[in-house]
Structure formats: C-alpha cells, structure tokens
Amino acid sequence: MNFTEDWTTTHTELWMTHLGHLRGVPDGHAIEIGCFEGRSTIWFLKNILTDERSRLICIDTFEGGDDQRKFGTKLDKLYDRFCSNIDECNLADKTQVFKMESVEALQRLPGLCHDFIYLDGSHIAKDVLQDLVLSWPLLKINGIMILDDYGWNLDPDRLNRPQPAIDAFLDIYSQKLEILHKGLQVIVRKTE
C-alpha cells in the first residue's frame, strides 16, 4: 500500500471502543466524508464493516482541501492512490465512491440507513456545519457519528477550523444526541 500520511492509527483504539459493537453486523452501512489515501477506509472495512454485505460510502473530491495545499500535504494523483490502496486490500467491492463535493453526494443518499458516519472532510467551519446538517438525517437512530479535527488549529482564522461548526451543531442538536467522547475527535450517538 502507498500512504504518505497516517492520521488513522492514533484513533483506532477510540474507534473500536465506540464502533466495536458494529463489528460483523450483517449488512452494515457507513459513510466516510474525506477519504484521502484510504487508510481509515481500509481500517473501517477490515475492523468494523466485516460482514460480506457491509458497505462503506466514500465521499471525497480527491483534490485535497485549501488547508492541505496551504500546509504542504502531497496531493498528486490522490484518487489513483486511494483506488490502488483499496484494490490492493481487495475491498473495492465493499466501497462506493462519490468523487465529488460532499454537499452534492449527501443529497443523493437515502436517509436513516447508516450505522455510522465519519466526518473528516473540509476544515472550513461553514463546510463542516453543512456536512453535519446534511449527514445527520442519513444516520440511523442509535447510530454513531465521529467528527474529526475538533482540536485542529493550524489555521489562525477560527472560521477555517472545524471546532466552531462542531460546537454549533452540538448545541443546536443537543436534545437529539449523546456526546460519547470529546477530545481531538468528537463522537456522538444519535438518540432521536
């Protein structure tokens, strides 16, 4: 496999704690917004979505974000690298890739049928809030949503960070969710 970054390994213990009950669930379904090279995609498919009928919807433009370009992340041929990594693990048949903006892809998906959603797309607050609001109706009751980069602060402009959007979402949807973890990532369970 060909990876240039590892933003996954530090979170896998936390993910297993909150997603482990979904391991091997028949016909499990999930969404990943922001797939980059596929490292987290592969982890979810090998460790949680293990039933042969389980599927992961992968949403990414594979162009990288402004923050990745600004801070020097290598982005050449990102989509090819993602596909190659997924193919090398024989997981292509368990993924459905939407190579487009998340706002467009999320509006195409059926509601209340996903066991978990991993949100790690744009870091710009307005984009994060839009992804949260559009993906929430797609999550099953008692489904888990993982919000990445809550503590990300490389950009000095707070509106170019996920935290303000996540905080607003948690406040507005507070009666419909339970916060399971709040640190570098925020993990919530949908209660209604």
177 assigned to some structural domain: no
What average pLDDT is seen over the chain? 92
78 assigned to some structural domain: yes
Q: What is the pLDDT of residues 117-173, one digit of tens each?
A: 999 999 999 999 999 999 999 999 999 999 999 998 888 888 999 999 999 999 999
Cβ atoms of residues 24 and 50 within 8 Å: yes
Cβ atoms of residues 94 and 56 within 8 Å: yes
Whether the model pTM is above 0.75: yes
User: What one-character DSSP code corresponds to residue 151?
Assistant: T
118 assigned to some structural domain: yes
Half-sphere exposure of residue 82: CA atoms within 13 angstroms, side-chain side: 24
When mean pLDDT is compared across 53-57, 72-76, 102-106, the lowest value belongs to 72-76
169 assigned to some structural domain: no
Checking if the pLDDT of 69 tops 50, the result is no
5 assigned to some structural domain: no
CA distance readout (Å), 29 to 8, 65, 118, 182: 20, 26, 12, 24
**What mean pLDDT comes out for the span 13-23?**
97
What pLDDT score was predicted for residue 189? 98
Domain residues for the domain of 150 are 25-159
C-alpha closest to that of 134 among 159, 162, 109, 165: 109
Band (110; pLDDT cuts 50, 70, 90): confident
Tally of domains within the chain = 1
What pLDDT score was predicted for residue 97? 97
DSSP per position, 59-110 = EE-SS--HHHHHTT---TTHHHHHHHHHHHTT-GGGEEEEES-HHHHHTTSP
Strand 177-182 relative to strand 186-190, pairing: antiparallel
What CATH number has the domain bearing residue 102? 3.40.50.150
73 assigned to some structural domain: yes
What pLDDT score was predicted for residue 133? 98
Checking if the pLDDT of 73 tops 70, the result is no
Question: What whole-number percentage of the chain has pLDDT above 90?
Answer: 82
Identify the H or E element spanning 141.
Answer: strand 139-147
82 assigned to some structural domain: yes
Question: What whole-number percentage of the chain has pLDDT above 70?
Answer: 94
